[in-house]
């Protein structure tokens, strides 16, 4: 079994990032759930802020940003089609992985995640800055959505009858069993019903990372998912509560392990657990 990631090019380490702080062809972006507690207290020098709630999600609909909004966000950050974009963030890169998924959905080729995220950068005592940088407007052009990496309620419902589909619930065991209806980080944000989608396999996202927030080796990751019956020859659908933790697992399966058919169900439990009549297991 190979101990090399299927797509090692999607990861950079903190040293590489520090070495490219002034590279005009590289843009670094911090993706935060709460910028006040993170980005605004100090960030990687030269990095722009992508506020997960305001910038990556539609302001009105329960949806991600549109193609046009994605294009505008990247252009105002000085990003061109040939710019290498490095994402990092809080919560061990939950929201950086979500942004990575959204940008891939709209055709961004050269986007990477900084392994270990904000946590590792700070633990290594690397330089931070409170200056908000400004850049000349870029000319990035988004593509039509890649629906092969996203799935919706109806398809998930149909997948329950399909033995070629595997559902991976990446939430905590307590959320999976319905003991709690929201994660500890967001105790007030919950669905009407607890539990999980029938036949889903519970593999918490955190099992894929080391203590310092970096991703585990390919060998360890392969072992983790294979031992739980998650196989590359099947369609794999990851879900959590709102799609951010599941995008982290989507990234691991698709890019680090090279599974050919992995979809993120970003409607996740806040959609499934609130829908009248949806089947639920505990």
For residue range 226-268, list pLDDT tens digits in order.
Answer: 999 999 999 999 999 999 999 999 999 999 999 999 999 999 9
Q: What is the number of structural domains in the chain?
A: 2
Tokens representing 24 are 């005009």
For residue 2, the model assigns a pLDDT of 57
Same domain, 106 and 155: no
Spatial CA neighbour of 251 closest among 241, 229, 236: 236
Burial class (CB in 10 A: 0-12, 13-18, 19+), 37: exposed
**6 within a domain of the structure (yes/no):** no
**182 within a domain of the structure (yes/no):** yes
- 1 has a pLDDT exceeding 50: no
> 109-137, pLDDT tens digit by residue?
999 999 999 999 999 999 999 999 999 99
pTM: 0.96
SS3 231: coil
For residue 186, the model assigns a pLDDT of 73
Residue 162's domain comprises: 150-273
Q: Cβ distance 67 to 147 under 8 Å?
A: no
**141 within a domain of the structure (yes/no):** no
Same domain, 157 and 256: yes
**Angle of helix 94-105 versus helix 244-251 axis, rounded to 10:** 70
- 36 has a pLDDT exceeding 80: yes
**246 within a domain of the structure (yes/no):** yes
Which residues are known to be catalytic?
240
For residue 181, the model assigns a pLDDT of 83
């Amino acid at each position: 079994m190979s101990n090399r990631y299927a797509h090692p090019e999607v990861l950079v380490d903190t040293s590489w990032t520090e070495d490219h702080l002034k590279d005009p062809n590289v843009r670094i972006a911090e993706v935060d759930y709460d910028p006040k507690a993170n980005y605004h207290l100090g960030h990687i020098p030269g990095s722009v802020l992508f506020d997960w709630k305001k910038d990556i999600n539609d302001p009105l609909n329960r949806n991600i940003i549109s193609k046009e909004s994605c294009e505008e966000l990247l252009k105002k950050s000085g990003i061109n089609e040939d710019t290498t974009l490095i994402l990092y963030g809080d919560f061990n890169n939950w929201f950086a992985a979500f942004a990575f998924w959204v940008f891939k959905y709209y055709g961004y080729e050269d986007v990477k995640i900084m392994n270990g995220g904000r946590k590792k950068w700070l633990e290594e005592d690397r330089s931070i800055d409170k200056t908000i940088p400004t850049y000349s407007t870029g000319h990035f052009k988004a593509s039509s959505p890649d629906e092969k990496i996203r799935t919706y309620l109806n398809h998930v419902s149909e997948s329950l009858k399909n033995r070629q589909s595997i559902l991976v619930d990446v939430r905590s065991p307590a959320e999976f069993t319905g003991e709690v209806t929201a994660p500890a980080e967001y105790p007030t944000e919950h669905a009407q019903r607890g539990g999980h989608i029938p036949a889903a396999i519970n593999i918490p996202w955190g099992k894929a990372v080391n203590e310092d927030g970096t991703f585990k080796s390919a060998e360890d990751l392969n072992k983790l998912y294979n031992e739980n019956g998650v196989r590359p020859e099947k369609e794999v659908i990851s879900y959590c509560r709102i799609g951010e933790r599941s995008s982290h697992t989507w990234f691991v399966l698709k890019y680090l392990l090279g599974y050919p058919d992995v979809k993120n169900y970003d409607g996740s439990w806040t959609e499934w657990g609130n829908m009248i009549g949806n089947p639920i297991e505990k």
